[in-house]
Structure 1
């Protein structure tokens, strides 16, 4: 929301088994497409703002052409010139100009084709060439370059820039193939280098993952030496001191007091803000926390995903069964430690020989 308030455009997507930063089977393009579909602006925070961004570029171009009393096409060409400096930027600009032509001639098919190309939805170059006259598409190899071109588009359209947010980065950590992890790490390294060296402008990246994804020296980012040296924490930020200027920001775990406030807010949501409709009294909250503490220890507030889920389920049962007592149900609440990010993702068909770095079998002959 802060980025939107500062007139930035945001795109975001969660990594998944079928969406990765680097891949050769369409997973990287799928990540790009998902992110662009979720594009948001201050006036359209719910997503799907790509058309509005492009339309703003066209509208501003028409307005400027009228003020300068020159052809609209010349103004559009001037606005798109910076995009052409990027890798693949010429076709990117060509597609944007095709959208303008579609707007001028009321050709909705042409406008739709242009937006599909910008979202990375063309799967073949032949189809793109037939629809838009371009020879390239957004594919696995051009995702990062396309994001930089997209950032330039937001800038020339009058926005402050583009913020790219990738969540669930732990999916890279869970890749069984060491080679696949390395290729993804190399793409992340490219992004980090460009950011630290000032090689890019009008674009920022926010990648969210678990501590294991970052610090595990066998499978995490720290297993890649070049990334470890660039992402290492400030050695002086100890003893409660923090440094928020570096590339890595460690989020502090919740304290028991924080979790108590969170549970209280959840209870308030269930009651629609009416204290008289609370499903459990105040004393039920610390009792529930004590129950969780006995089950999984301090993990109940440090990684509270399962704790919150169990509390919501408890309130749901009480809401739908008015005669039930929370004291009777509390002992039945099952809470397990949140292992999110620690389990490994195994490819379909089980581990493949030579595909990973794990010992899958051992046979000793005599």
Structure 2
């Protein structure tokens, strides 16, 4: 089975489940060419040694989740390591240590998910290869081990001047692997990622106390960037989703969260996060509401939109997404037909005609009181079901058989979709 067919099947399977596909998103993207181009330029700048950041503002149904997934896909195509963090009760914005843990535990490359170990191993392997090439030692020579430890420490010397624990954890990881003590090596990797409650044996071997905390989290992230780059990657792209959830917190925690956000923005602007790209998403209330970033004027001043008019400028701090409309939904349906043809078989356009698609969109939209913005996920799931039935049953006539049933989809709705459906139209 060729790669395109495998990708196509993956896309259709994800749509059947109502989720965002893991790859191939450019084949479904509608109306995002300008935003993709802006993000691509920012990633190129970060790859060249800079750092950049972008905020995506949009209501539910505007495509924030899709754009984030597409941005990270573009980043991996450009050989970035990526991470995707959802702000929640477990990962609040006011705890940098929690953000750090989620970033490192969700690292992904084009080849690997949960890629922390692969990245560290690639880095160490590159160090060993240089020593073997330059000094002519063999893989069994003790000098290789000694030299590798020295270079691990040297690569992070300036980080160690602030906090030596990062280099110590990597040293233990390497020496434990060399000794065949894989539980200790795994503990070192866990501690490095910010995992809480790592065992005493590791702490004694590394000579560290405590865990990655609020003071060390950003320092460690900068240090880990060295490893990512030395392992052969262009940089690190981090998407932080649903930052608007911070608005529900007490004012002191909200203020601390916004303070952390400002710290990241300022670190990027000061050039302290070389080869890093950050993408944050939030609702309009987060950017303009009384409990949003307006409550921290210095942060609001950095992120606000200037010269707001009908000509959106995604080069500013914010990309402002507009809700899905009927035209975009129809374009998406046509793209799904193309993908389906690659995944299974050509779509019978006599049964799934342009007229049928428009009628189906109208039925689903009417079921949600005309709210096109909240139905793309639901519509595409129903649409793939129609395509499946056309492929399975030659006698199936969707124009006569299809009817949108509000009651049947209720158990499968997200909170925002359910809120709309509960309204009596």
Question: TM-score with structure 2 length normalisation?
Answer: 0.66
Pairwise mapping of residues 56-71 of structure 1 onto structure 2 (< 5 A)?
Answer: 56-69=122-135, 71=143
Select between 266-275 and 55-64 the one with higher mean Cα deviation. 266-275
Corresponding residue for 1:346?
none
Q: Is the partner of 2:94 in helix, strand or coil?
A: coil
- Between 1:192-201 and 1:52-61, the stretch displaced more is 192-201
Q: CA deviation at 1:325?
A: 5.2
1:177 matched to which residue of 2?
A: 250
Q: 1:330 aligns to what SS in structure 2?
A: coil
Are residue 254 (structure 1) and residue 327 (structure 2) matched? no
Higher RCO (C-alpha 8 Å, min separation 6): 2
Q: After the TM superposition, which parts of structure 1 deviate over 6 Å for at least 4 consecutive aligned residues?
A: 320-324, 334-339
CA distance in 2, matches of 1:157, 1:310: 43
Matches of 2:347 and 2:310, distance apart in 1? 44
**What secondary structure does 1:208 align onto?**
strand
Q: Which residue, 218, 228, 251 being the options, matches 1:144? A: 218
Q: CA deviation at 1:327?
A: 4.7
- Secondary structure, counterpart of 2:83 in structure 1: strand
Aligned partner of residue 207 in structure 1, secondary structure: strand
Other-structure match for 1:186 = 259
Equivalence for 2:403: 330
Equivalences, count: 330
1:202 and 2:202 are equivalent in the alignment: no
Render the CA deviation track for 1:93-142: whole Å, top value 9, x for unaligned: 11111122123323222321221112222326856413533224223554
Counterpart in 2 of 1:285? 357
Contact 2:152 2:171 in 1 (8 A): no
What CA RMSD, in Å, does the superposition of the two structures yield over aligned residues?
3.5
Q: Distance in 2 between matches of 1:289 and 1:83?
A: 56
Q: Mean Cα displacement is larger for which, 109-118 or 151-160?
A: 151-160
**What stretches of structure 2 of length at least 5 have no aligned partner?**
1-72, 138-142, 420-425
Query: Alignment partner for residue 2 of structure 1, among 43, 68, 74?
Result: 74
Any idea what SS the aligned residue of 1:11 has?
A: strand
Aligned equivalent of 2:301: 229
**Contact 1:128–1:136 (CA<8 Å) still a contact in 2?**
no
The 2-side partners of 1:196 and 1:182 are apart by 21
Contact 1:318 1:326 (8 Å CA) reproduced: no
Could you say which residue in structure 2 is the equivalent of 1:32?
100
In structure 2, distance between residues paired with 1:30 and 1:327 = 53
Q: Quote the residue 2:88 is aligned against.
A: 16
Q: Give the whole-Å Cα distance in 2 for the aligned partners of 1:327 and 1:119.
A: 55
C-alpha contact (below 8 Å) 1:80/1:93 kept by paired residues = yes
The one of 295, 308, 312 equivalent to 2:381 is 312
For residue 146 of structure 1, give the secondary structure of its aligned residue in structure 2.
helix
Query: 1 or 2, which has the higher helix percentage?
Result: 2
Equivalent residues of 1:21, 1:187 under 8 A apart? yes
Question: Are 2:187 and 2:198, in contact at CA under 8 Å, matched by a contact in 1?
Answer: no
Q: Name the structure 2 match of 1:264.
A: 334
Note if 1:81 corresponds to 2:154: yes
Q: Does the CA-based 8 Å contact 2:86-2:242 persist in structure 1?
A: yes
CA spacing shift, 1:128–1:221, aligned 2, 3 Å: farther
The aligned residue for residue 115 of structure 1 is 189
Structure 2 CA distance for aligned equivalents of residues 129 and 315 of structure 1: 53
Once residues 137 and 127 of structure 1 are traced to their aligned partners in structure 2, the CA distance between those partners, rounded to angstroms, is: 14
Instruction: Select the residue among 308, 311, 320 that pairs with 1:240.
Output: 311
- Partners of 1:163 and 1:308 in 2: CA distance: 26
Separation in structure 2 between the aligned mates of residue 326 and residue 180 of structure 1, nearest angstrom: 54
Residues 223, 339 of structure 1: alpha-carbon distance in 2 compared, 3 angstrom cutoff: farther
Report if the CA contact (8 A) 1:160-1:202 is conserved.
yes
Please report how far the alpha carbon of residue 188 of structure 1 lies from its aligned counterpart in structure 2 after TM superposition. 0.3
More divergent stretch after superposition (202-211 vs 83-92): 83-92
Residues 29 and 195 (structure 1), Cα distance of their counterparts in 2 relative to 1, 3 Å cut: closer
State the alpha-carbon separation in 1 of the partners of residues 293 and 117 from structure 2.
Answer: 36
Equivalent position SS for 2:91: coil
d(CA) in 2 for partners of 1:295, 1:223: 38
Deviation of 1:260 after TM superposition, in Å, equals: 0.6
> Compared with structure 1, are the counterparts of its residues 221 and 296 closer, same or farther at alpha carbon in structure 2 (3 Å cutoff)?
farther
